[in-house]
A and B are shown apart, each in its own frame.
Chain A
Amino acid sequence: MNRAHARAPALPHGTLQPEQPEQPEQPEQPEQPEGSGALVGAQPGKVRKMRLQELAVRFAFGAAVSVLAGLVSLGWGPRAGGTFLAFPAILPATLTLIEKKEGTSEARHDVAGAVLGAVGLTAFGATTVWALHRMAVGLALVAAAASWVVVSVALYLMTESARRLLTDGNGGGARRPGPE
């Protein structure tokens, strides 16, 4: 069957097709509404949906911020350069892409998570300073990365559990995580 026929309703012969106004790109529906389902999960299939252009934008952001941090270190010293190691390098590209694909509400959820990640980033800095005085530099980096994971994930689990508990208590729509 002709695909155009399948989509458009039939018009009387000689009738002009009404001009369709250009529709803005509709955000995709999030596959799992925020506040429902498991506290933590993964959809590995989404990797295949990522475009090369999106990854290139992120690579460019990361490279640019690294160069900026390096230049600041050379100009004003390593402490000043160190502040730029915590520059929001991933956030701008991520927020813009999430809003485009999934809507503003999902972008807001992402930035709420970034607050907790940023606290973990401060823990990363503190652990770096502490560990570099006490252990091999490779181990110090591993310890610093582990501190980011532990602090940010613990904060996420605490705040998200509390949020869901409060939402349930108020008669909200959130479901407790668990088997269906």
Chain B
Amino acid sequence: MAPQVNLWAHGAGVDGEYEPAVSDLVTLAVKAVNGGLFVVAFAVMAEVLIPKRFAGLFSAAPSVALANLLVVLIVKGRHHGVENGLGMLVGGAAMAGACVAGMYLVPRLRARRASAAICVIWLAVAEAGYLVALR
């Protein structure tokens, strides 16, 4: 059973010691469904928007972040949300760097290979950033 959290009340949220009220497996499953739905919603928005450079903003939309933070804040509380947010600072910077590299790679490697390279670059930059700035 999830703890009763009023998302709109100041001071609400499970603070302090985390007691897993919902099994981690159930939380993961809810995150997965939520993440998938948010990504589809943002992808549909990206599809209808023009020009492509504007639609591209939605390729880096906080879809997974919104979906996961919503669950995290309800189940685990503010502290975990703040920690996730700190991680996102590094992840977002890594995403920007990987996309800059992607502008160079897409015309040269084509989309499929360039996408794989973007993910690898993101992983390397985010990992390095995490080790240097957050650990």
Query: Chain A interface (Cβ within 8 Å of chain B)?
Result: 30-32, 34-35, 37-44, 46-47, 50, 55, 58-67, 69-71, 73-74, 77-96, 98-100, 102, 104-126, 128-129, 132-133, 135-141, 144-145, 148, 152-153, 156, 160
Measured CA separation A99–B27 after assembly (Å):
35
CB distance from B117 to the nearest CB of A (A): 10
Enumerate B74-106 residues with CB–CB distance to A below 8 Å. Answer: 76, 78, 80-96, 98-100, 102-103, 106
A61-B83 contact given A85-B64, A91-B115, A137-B13, CB 8 Å threshold: no
A124-B64 contact given A34-B53, A98-B111, A138-B8, CB 8 Å threshold: no
Q: Nearest A residue to B123 by beta-carbon distance? A: A87
Measured CA separation A169–B90 after assembly (Å):
38
9 pairs, CB–CB < 8 Å, chain A vs chain B: A63-B35, A66-B35, A74-B24, A83-B94, A90-B58, A90-B60, A96-B115, A108-B107, A126-B89
Q: Which 5 A-B pairs have the closest CB atoms?
A: A113-B56, A82-B87, A62-B39, A66-B35, A86-B91
A89-B64 contact given A40-B49, A83-B91, A138-B7, CB 8 Å threshold: yes
Interface size class of B (residues with CB under 8 A): 35 or more
Residues of B within 8 A of A109 (CB): 51-53, 56
Residues of A within 8 A of B49 (CB): 40-42
